[in-house]
Amino acid sequence: MHRSILNPAFKTVCPCRQSSKMGETKQADTNKRPGYSKWKKEDTKTALDLYRAQNISLNEIPRQFSIPKATFLRHLRGTNKHSNEDNQGSGRKPVLPHVLEKELVEHALQLEKMLLKTAFRSLLFNLRKKKQTN
């Protein structure tokens, strides 16, 4: 039997917290989000090949490959903004180019070896200033 915990600020029962034992509180799992990009690139490519060869119907693809129908259609039409058959493209795009990011890491490691503690913003500023003078 669960005992409801009262919220002292509002004098109401808080639905997100329940106690199973005396003194223990359990937080409701509010961080569950629907799964994004649970399919694999290989599955997308295989599904595209099968559909183009007319070996599978459009409605069968979400069932067999777990690819959402709208996503599959975007890949089929080539209307994805940032991804294609080879690149799934989840997440944000990097702000810094790969080369500059690598240089920044090397510079930070150099400073760490010299036991200098520098804020990240000033580190970026120094690197940018160094690049402009070259």
Residues 45, 73 within the same domain? yes
The sign of the CA dihedral 52, 54, 58, 64 is negative
Q: Give the total number of structural domains in the chain.
A: 3
Query: d(Cα 71, Cα 65) in Å, to the nearest integer?
Result: 12
User: Cα 87 from chain centroid?
Assistant: 15
93 part of a folded domain: no
pTM over 0.85: no
5 part of a folded domain: yes
Residues 47, 21 within the same domain? no
Domain span including residue 11: 1-29
Lowest mean pLDDT among 58-67, 96-105, 117-126: 117-126
36 part of a folded domain: no
Confidence at residue 2, expressed as pLDDT on a 0 to 100 scale? 44
Query: d(Cα 83, Cα 89) in Å, to the nearest integer?
Result: 5
69 part of a folded domain: yes
87 part of a folded domain: no
Q: Which tokens sit at 37?
A: 């990009």
Place of tokens 């600020």: 9
110 part of a folded domain: yes
Place of tokens 């509002």: 10
Q: Which tokens sit at 57?
A: 């119907």
CB 86 within 8 A of CB 43: no
Query: d(Cα 36, Cα 105) in Å, to the nearest integer?
Result: 30
Residues 71, 51 within the same domain? yes
Query: d(Cα 97, Cα 41) in Å, to the nearest integer?
Result: 24
Q: What is the pLDDT of residues 68-93, one digit of tens each?
A: 898 889 888 888 766 655 555 566 77
